[in-house]
Amino acid sequence: MSYLEELNESQLKAVQNIEGPTMVIAGAGSGKTRVLTFRIAYMMENGVDPFNIMALTFTNKAAREMTERIGTIVGAGEARNITMGTFHSVFSRILRYNADRLGYPSNFTIYDTQDSKSLLREIIKQFNLDDKAYKPGNVLGRISSAKNNLISADAYMQNADIQAEDNLAKRPELGRIYKTYVQRCFNAGAMDFDDLLYNTNVLLRDFPDVLTHYQHKFKYILVDEYQDTNYAQYLIVKKLAAVFENICVVGDDAQSIYSFRGANIQNILNFKKDYPDFKLFKLEQNYRSTKNIVEAANSVIARNKDQIKKNVWTENGEGSKINVVRTLTDNEEGKLITNKIFDKSSEPGLTYNDFAILYRTNRQSRSFEESLRKLNIPYKIYGGLSFYQRKEIKDLLGYFRLTANPNDSEALKRVINYPKRGIGQTSFQNVIVAANNYNVSPWDVISDFAKYPVQLTTGARNKMIDFVIMIKSFAAQLDKMDGYSLAQEIAKTSGILKEMRTDKDKGPEEVERYQNVEELLAGIKEFTASRQEGESKSLSEFMLDVALLTDADEDKGDDRNHITLMTIHSSKGLEFPHVYLVGLEENLFPSQMALHSRTELEEERRLFYVAVTRAKETCTLSYATSRFQWGNLITSEPSRFIDEISPEFLHFETPERGRGKSLSGGMSNSFANPSGMGGLNKSFTKSPSLKRVENAKPSAPKTGGSLELKVGYNVSHDRFGKGKVIKLEGNGPDKKATIFFPKHGSKTVLLRFANLTVDG
């Protein structure tokens, strides 16, 4: 068992403990995936049947890679017998197998966000509601939250508190929209992503024989990224593990950053309450980052109260201190960081792939994109338009979906007149109205006009009948032809390929669209060729894979040489030699929306921890003292997270000789720090700063480099003016004062940075 020799002592103990409830707390860069992989291999080598193992991972790609690695140890054939994948992929297959129990077809469609929003727009329009008050995205978010908390449409409408919230938000019809949305999805034989979890819970709740079957099938359950599970996921796992309790959860509470998706950090914090006899293993050795980066991240996350204590450490070298840079504007921030990357990338052995720019929100990418383009540096923004969300791809996939499930109303709406075949929007709208009146799908209507009368011209009616015949001919081949052959047949017969080939005014965009369709067909060919003996090569199986792709599954496959730009949320699970964390300003990071409670602030701090720990060798923090938002220039203050890093791990950049001019021709963007405590260069007295107390006016009384303050003292602040001290807390460099300023209200300031003077 030579593979066990690759593990450190903590990892080995976690791998070899295969019975009973187990929690593995894995610090950043601590080899979590290796432990999961080796644990499964070790279980199989010690007699556990792979058919009795269920492993839930973060992405489908991670599941495939783990299966391959396990296969090298125990054999590829046995490794494929493990049930492994994301919650959505694993439970969608269980739902397909048991779909008839819930009244769904086994080939139900999985709606993506675009499909759901399209359906909601239709419902909102039908109800004559204001689409500004009932924005489809907001409505979908509300429905998603309800499903993740296992609140049905009926329960939603009967809950007085929920109804009061909706009335207060001036959206009293949300419950009716939710109920109609659920019914329309059901009529279409479709589930959205949240339904895959919601309906799994319904299946296990309402059919005890199904629950018993899977409890005894999955005797060993492993869950990766447990801190990111929501209530629906938590309940599924708890039910399935109830008989044998051979459950192993792996995660890091310090990296719980998805509460906006419904993730509940209490799932991992309360694991010991669910399983009092659990065993805890901590993976605390970081193999990724330098000591300075690890210790800096530790010093910040230590401030969170809700956490499982651990001491992350590394044997890696000391490394550079974290560099902190200030600029006057967000545009200068983009120029400065881009120039730094340009200079750094010229060092031997480095490529653009070694660099990442991380930000809190997508809108921050603009200044960096502009600067990168000017320097002709290749870059990629992750989380942009997915390949499978491009119009030409969605159109062809619409035909595939309709072939597998003719009741899929969103697919039908998309392709019934593409390529154009003379079926106007008004005609199809009449079909939708009839379908709603009869409470059936639009396909039911166009398949049987005798049963479901609808007002149509003879021409439109005949063209719809021809369309139905074409789709039925595709469906007849679904189980007879392999996925690639049928996909080619659909692309040709539908007219999509012909329309693209005969377009006489082909510009670069049209050529790219045709190439994208070719790429899709090539992907289906690769899919069918890669299937093992006994595995389905059907188009339906390919569509299931596509429907369950995550952003991470698609993005990680791109290995071209480019700078990576992404939000911090998207960076989770990734690592880069050189990370630039930008926009470190109060109300931006931490977000202004997350300052209403300790819980929200602690999640922002965990997000900062995730960002810093993506870096392997160097980490640079930057912020601007002013930034354009909604067309207005606003002043900014440095993020509290900079101050929360222990100063011995920071380097406040000093202007280089000969480079004292800023990129915009003004003063240098950098600032000096002779004492290492975060003081800003005096050059920037016109902009908000964190000037040290030592730079206060000579008349101010000082003791040991700080003001000798008492509650009740009158003080002056450069920005807020005159105020009165109403509270003092902390000691030494961490001493804070709460001051009431008549024009600005109460402000809490750190004395060593506040630049206060005591008024006589």
Measured CA to CA, the distance from residue 405 to residue 428 in angstroms comes to: 19
Decide if 614 is catalytic.
yes
DSSP for residue 649: G
Measured CA to CA, the distance from residue 748 to residue 485 in angstroms comes to: 68
Measured CA to CA, the distance from residue 274 to residue 384 in angstroms comes to: 39
Measured CA to CA, the distance from residue 518 to residue 521 in angstroms comes to: 5
Measured CA to CA, the distance from residue 309 to residue 292 in angstroms comes to: 20
Of 22, 33, 200, 564, catalytic: 33
Single-letter residue type at 206 = D
Burial string for 744-759 (b: 16+ CB within 10 Å, else e) reads: eeeeebbbbbbbbbbe
Phi, psi of 79 (to 5 degrees): -60, -35
Count Cα atoms within 13 angstroms, Cβ side, for 470. 21
Burial string for 594-620 (b: 16+ CB within 10 Å, else e) reads: beeeeeebbbbbbbbbbbbbbbbbbbb
Measured in whole angstroms, the distance separating CA 209 from the mean position of its chain's CA atoms is 35
Decide if 233 is catalytic.
no
DSSP for residue 320: P
Measured in whole angstroms, the distance separating CA 584 from the mean position of its chain's CA atoms is 20
Decide if 255 is catalytic.
yes
Q: Are 139 and 182 in contact (CB under 8 A)?
A: no
Cis status of the peptide bond prior to 508, with omega within 30 of 0: no
Measured CA to CA, the distance from residue 432 to residue 184 in angstroms comes to: 11
Concatenated DSSP letters of 49-82: -GGGEEEE-S-HHHHHHHHHHHHHHH-HHHHTTS
Of 122, 166, 192, 225, catalytic: 225
CA of 162: how far to CAs of 102, 145, 273, in Å? 27, 12, 29
The two structure tokens encoding residue 5: 């020799």
Decide if 501 is catalytic.
no
Count Cα atoms within 13 angstroms, Cβ side, for 406. 18
Q: Quickly count: other Cβ atoms within 10 Å of residue 211's Cβ.
A: 17
Decide if 682 is catalytic.
no
Q: List all residues 6 or more positions away from 456 whose beta carbon is below 8 Å from its beta carbon.
A: 427, 430, 431, 449, 464
* Helix H or strand E encompassing 487: helix 483-493
**Facing residues of 324 across strands?**
621, 652
Of 59, 255, 338, 613, catalytic: 255
Q: List all residues 6 or more positions away from 715 whose beta carbon is below 8 Å from its beta carbon.
A: 707, 709, 722, 723, 724, 725, 739, 756, 757, 758, 759
Q: List all residues 6 or more positions away from 413 whose beta carbon is below 8 Å from its beta carbon.
A: 118, 428, 432, 442
Concatenated DSSP letters of 368-402: HHHHHHHTT--EEETTS--GGGSHHHHHHHHHHHH
Of 224, 252, 643, 653, catalytic: 224
Of 11, 22, 32, 332, catalytic: 32
Q: Quickly count: other Cβ atoms within 10 Å of residue 515's Cβ.
A: 12
Measured CA to CA, the distance from residue 419 to residue 606 in angstroms comes to: 49
Of 614, 616, 692, 752, catalytic: 614
Tokens 């039910």 sit at which residue? 239
Which residues are known to be catalytic? 32-33, 224-225, 255, 614
